[in-house]
Structure 1
Amino acid sequence: MSDSNTTDLTSPSSFILLGIPGLEVAHVWIAIPFCTMYIIAILGNFTILFTVKIEPSLRGPMYYFLCMLAVTDLVLSTSTLPKTLAIFWFNSREIEFNACLTQMFFLHCFSVMESGIFVAMAFDRYVAICDPLRHSTILTNPVVAKISLAVMLRAVIFTLPYALLARQWPYCRTNIIPELYCVHIAVVNLACADIRVSNYYGLFMVFFVRGLDVIFITVSYVQILRAIFSLPTKDARLKTFETCSSHLCAILAFYIPGLFISLIYRFGQNVALHFQVLISNLYLFMPPMLNPIIYGVRTKQIWNRLLRLFIHKGT
């Protein structure tokens, strides 16, 4: 144990996740909101999946993509939060090297997948609002299936180099990760090698992959807003805008904090470590909790079906 932090480790058998450095004494209490977010995320996303499954009217591209988003959020939460709670409550900080790389892959893969799903949702809203008469002929079930497959394959292909690059580096500095989970940049920073390739690839993922997603979504919503403001009456504009307001809320909650956190990891050397770790984890765990709330409350078809379900059970 004495040399575990500095031993020459070409491929360490395990890493030690510190949790939130500087706030160890408060881990038990910090775990409470994290556990609450996890429970809400699990219940909310399963509720979305259950509602879409039992309601025949909820059959369409938007709801298929929403189900994909729910599954993605469930995987994101489950790949990180149980270990986080184990660190907080049981001081279970050790994670095997391969398990760490696996967690890293799932974390980044499903994050990229979520970004791709938002792009698909933006395209669906664009067609539904800007070319409504052709919506059912453009976004047929086979087309939706192909888009979904493309979103998944893109996420796997672009994320795989994260794990491959992290595996190839020699680790001889320390096996301590000042994080709650195995995020790519925190792991490769422990390598005693020139990791510029990993850093450049991480920036490529932020600015090229997600950057292109943001550009596509922005262009789609510019066209959507132009179509909305061209409608003749205020009621028509409000009604049409309501159909895409939930997507806008979820997109803003996902991309803006994500860009902020990515830049802090690379350029925020003066930011307190405990603040950096706490904010990055809140960003990761908030969308899986917020997305089902946003879509459940702001999507009338889902909200009405849930109300009918509970009212029927109450009577």
Structure 2
Amino acid sequence: MVCVIQEVRLGNGTAVTYFILLGLTNRTDLKGLLFGSFLLIYTMTLMGNLGMMALIHADPHLHTPMYFFLSTLSFIDICYSSVVTPRLLHGHRAISFRACIAQMYFFFFFGSTEFFLLATMAYDRYLAICHPLRYPVLMNGRACARLALASWVSGFLTPFLPTAFISQLPFCGTNRINHFFCDTGPLLRLSTGDTHVADILVFLVSVVVVLSSFLLTLTSYTLIVSAICRIPSATGRHKAFATCASHLTVVIIFYGTVIFMYIRPGSGRASNMDKVVSVFYAIIIPLLNPVIYTLRNRDKVDVPTGPSNLHLLH
């Protein structure tokens, strides 16, 4: 494809270019297969998450904190996947500088929001299992709304500084991004300026977001496991663990892939393996979330469980 470059002069004299996303592969024989696969995945992602949101809204038995957060997670997954997949399906590899920066911002906005929401859901499971008698008071409608809003606000603010900093870097050389979307690592390598501070900033923000939410999640599940182990009945332990097994599965998958991409040494190199992992957490995980929760949450009623009210298990 012929490279199209348009220069626009801003106040700081930085040249704004149209970048070319190189995509996943240059093999023409795989393009049809990849297009069909991603179209199917994206369609199922929309249908699965919208269907879960509709079901939770329609069924009064599901109007509980756990399913409120799950409905919010489904909405985030729709937004998260829609930032990347439609452009990937469109096949138009040219993207303006402003559109590239916007895609990068919204990708990390929704990704960070999901991290904070997963930590919030872990806290919800901790209260349900470890403080079952106080759970309806501690996790009432107002508390749920505030926690969800805090996740959204935190996610909105998190990528603002790195994005603003990257947007001011000069891009006057090659315009070919070795990725299928505007990720920070591949984009920073195209800058003709000093990116040392930007690299450190992106890394620190990633560490703060991932580790803060991970530590809260880990603390919640440590207390949950401790409480479950005190349940004398094996059936009681199994049912108590089943209330958070789906969430724990999602946490392990999401955290594992993102840590591999952004926090490991030498992250952001956009090798073929990195791009495959990016496909997994950017496109496939939003599809897996409703599937995992649908398979694991067989009971329609969110029953608080814990050592002090084992008789509620049925």
Do both proteins adopt the same fold according to a TM-score greater than 0.5, normalized to the shorter chain?
A: yes
- Tell me what 1:290 maps to: 288
User: 8 Å contact 1:119–1:217 — kept in the other structure?
Assistant: yes
Native 8 Å contact 2:23 2:180 kept in 1? yes
Contact 1:8 1:172 in 2 (8 A): no
Report the Cα offset of residue 264 of structure 1: 6.2
* C-alpha distance in 1 between matches for 2:192 and 2:217: 39
TM-score relative to the length of structure 1: 0.88
Summarize deviations over 1:20-40 as a string: whole Å, max 9, x none: 244454222222222221111
Evaluate the alpha carbon distance shift between residue 296 and residue 113 of structure 1 in structure 2; reply closer, same or farther with a 3 A threshold: same
Unaligned runs of 5+ in 1: 304-315
Shift of the 27–302 alpha-carbon distance from structure 1 to 2, 3 Å rule, reads farther
Aligned position for 2:256: 256
Matched, 1:32 2:30: no
Query: How many pairs are equivalent?
Result: 298
Q: CA 1:268–1:101 in 2, change beyond 3 Å: closer, same or farther?
A: closer
Runs of 4+ deviating beyond 4 Å: 1-5
* 8 A contact 1:20–1:277 mirrored in 2: yes
Q: Is the 8 A contact 2:186 2:268 kept in 1?
A: no
AA aligned to 1:52 is: I
SS of corresponding position for 1:300 = coil
Gaps of 5+ in 2: 302-314
Specify the alignment match of 1:313 in structure 2: none
Paired position in structure 2 for 1:195: 195
Q: CA 1:230–1:2 in 2, change beyond 3 Å: closer, same or farther?
A: closer
Q: CA deviation at 1:236?
A: 0.4
Checking the alignment, whether the CA contact within 8 Å between 1:4 and 1:174 is kept in structure 2 is: no
| Letter paired with 1:176 | R
- CA RMSD, 1 decimal: 2.4
Q: Partners in 1 of 2:172 and 2:15 — Cα distance?
A: 9
Q: Give 1:206 shift.
A: 2.4
Tell me, in whole angstroms, the C-alpha distance in 1 between the residues paired with 2:35 and 2:28. Answer: 11
**Contact 1:21 1:178 survives alignment (8 Å):** no
Identity of aligned residues (%): 29
CA distance in structure 2 between the aligned counterparts of 1:268 and 1:163, rounded to whole angstroms: 16
CA contact (8 A) 2:207 2:263 kept: no
Q: For the residues of structure 2 that align with 1:213 and 1:278, how far apart are their CA atoms?
A: 25
Kindly indicate which of the two structures has a greater share of residues assigned to helix: 1
CA distance in 1, matches of 2:152, 2:255: 19
> TM-score with structure 2 length normalisation?
0.88
Whether the 8 Å CA contact 2:120–2:147 is kept in 1: the answer is: yes
